[in-house]
Amino acid sequence: MNLLPRSLLRWLRLLPLIGLSIGLVACGSSPGNTYDPYGDNARRIYELLIPIWWMALGVFVVVEGLLIYAIWRFRRRPGSTAMPAQVHGNTQVEILWTIAPAIIVLVIAVLTFRTQAANAVMPEDALRIKAIGHQWWFEFQYPDAVADGKPIVTASDMYIPVGRPVTVVLESQDVIHNFWVPKLAGKTYMIPGKTNFLTFTAEQPGIYRAVCAEFCGEAHALMRFRVIAVDEAEFNRWIEQKKTPPPAPAGTLVVNGLTGDAARGQAIFLDARKQCIACHAVEGTNARGLVGPNLTYYGSRQTIGAGILPYSPENLDRWLREAPKLKPGNLMSRVLTPQWIRQNLSDQEIADLVAYLDSMKVSVTLPPER
Ligand SMILES: [Cu+2]
């Protein structure tokens, strides 16, 4: 004999499923959570989502309720053999279920247009930042902060001031990308040959994760960036430091047991045979390549390879050796193939390059991760 009635046992079998659902819902604290906005743009989208969510719940309850009621009320009863009454159509019901959804959709449309209009406002005093999508990394230019006739340029870390509207001018170098900072602003396309605009204000200091949200080729899933929102004074301090090119490199750094020399690293970096300057720029040197990210003050970056590794000299060493494996398809590895690296960069040269790139630093006080 069973200890528990059969029907109860059957319900118990649902427990793992319920546990799994609760577990998945608990993923809510992730950095991509749009239910936890920290910016006005994302907050408006969130505030649009909530009424739509309730309307959807209402539709669900009414439709499923009617369905369950019909199944129960008109179920086959024991002993009944007769065919149920066969009906076709009911004009009143059909009018009702055409008009009711139309009204719901209309309400959603009005709410959506209101949100879109509010999010499209571009205040005159907004800070402009140009964001350019590349396969597979994001470039950021600060046209309001010009040094030596050129805007400050960086990649993967987008610094913004807290509490001040930022208008991101979105462009693409190659294919269609999509700029998405889930906790700050809605997705916006970066389209080659067309300029889009996205305005938002970060309400609190923080490091916000962001991604490319449009499939753009082999390494699309490894195309990330961070928005680093700091208070206005700190932001201006960052800008001012970036306006001056890095000083002549000096000092050494121990990476994986080898002592890298920053000055020697710079010489390797600038040596045309080592290829780096064909694709990378560093302000104040004759490295002016535009294919890859601008590496000025690289030592202050938060990540390596468009967000795939946290920044550290050890990870930079890994990137220079294993980029083809760490980020399959990346455009640097078309030239720096595993074989090319083996033949052209010794362990010592890699240590020197790491020491050089790591030596270029600006000082910033980082806000918390959100
Ligand atoms: Cu992309």
Residue 197's nearest CA partner among 93, 305, 119, 309 is 119
CA–centroid distance, residue 329 to ligand 1 (Å) = 13
Model pLDDT, residue 81? 80
CA–centroid distance, residue 343 to ligand 1 (Å) = 32
CA–centroid distance, residue 306 to ligand 1 (Å) = 11
- C-beta of residue 293 within 8 angstroms of C-beta of residue 316: no
Span(s) in the chain for CATH 2.60.40.420: 127-243, 252-359
Residue 175's nearest CA partner among 140, 211, 137, 135 is 135
Model pLDDT, residue 1? 46
CA–CA dist 260, 35 (Å, integer): 46
> For domain 252-359, which CATH number applies: 3.30.540.10, 3.30.360.10, 2.60.40.420, 3.30.70.890?
2.60.40.420
CA–centroid distance, residue 212 to ligand 1 (Å) = 5
Residues of the chain with pLDDT under 70: 1-5, 24-29
Reported as type and span, the H/E element at residue 47 is helix 40-73
CA–centroid distance, residue 77 to ligand 1 (Å) = 59
CA–centroid distance, residue 219 to ligand 1 (Å) = 8
CA–centroid distance, residue 284 to ligand 1 (Å) = 30
Residues 6+ apart with CB under 8 A from 51: 111
pTM: 0.89
Residues 6+ apart with CB under 8 A from 65: none
CA–centroid distance, residue 226 to ligand 1 (Å) = 14
CA–centroid distance, residue 351 to ligand 1 (Å) = 31
CA–centroid distance, residue 12 to ligand 1 (Å) = 45
CA–CA dist 227, 144 (Å, integer): 18
CA–centroid distance, residue 210 to ligand 1 (Å) = 11
For the 127-243 domain, the top CATH level (class) is mainly beta
DSSP string covering 244-302, please?
SPPPPP--EEEETTEEEEHHHHHHHHH-GGG-HHHH-EETTTTEE--SS---TTGGG-S
CA–centroid distance, residue 53 to ligand 1 (Å) = 30
CA–centroid distance, residue 281 to ligand 1 (Å) = 22
CA–CA dist 265, 180 (Å, integer): 36
CA–centroid distance, residue 5 to ligand 1 (Å) = 56
For 28-81, the pLDDT digits (tens) are 558 889 999 999 999 999 999 999 999 999 999 999 999 999 999 988 888 888
Q: What tokens appear for 24 in the block? A: 């998945």
Model pLDDT, residue 4? 62
CA–CA dist 369, 38 (Å, integer): 12
CA–centroid distance, residue 175 to ligand 1 (Å) = 8
CA–centroid distance, residue 223 to ligand 1 (Å) = 6
DSSP 8-state symbol, 215: -
For 105-117, the pLDDT digits (tens) are 999 999 999 999 9
Q: Which residue has the tokens 């390596």?
A: 304
CA–centroid distance, residue 133 to ligand 1 (Å) = 6
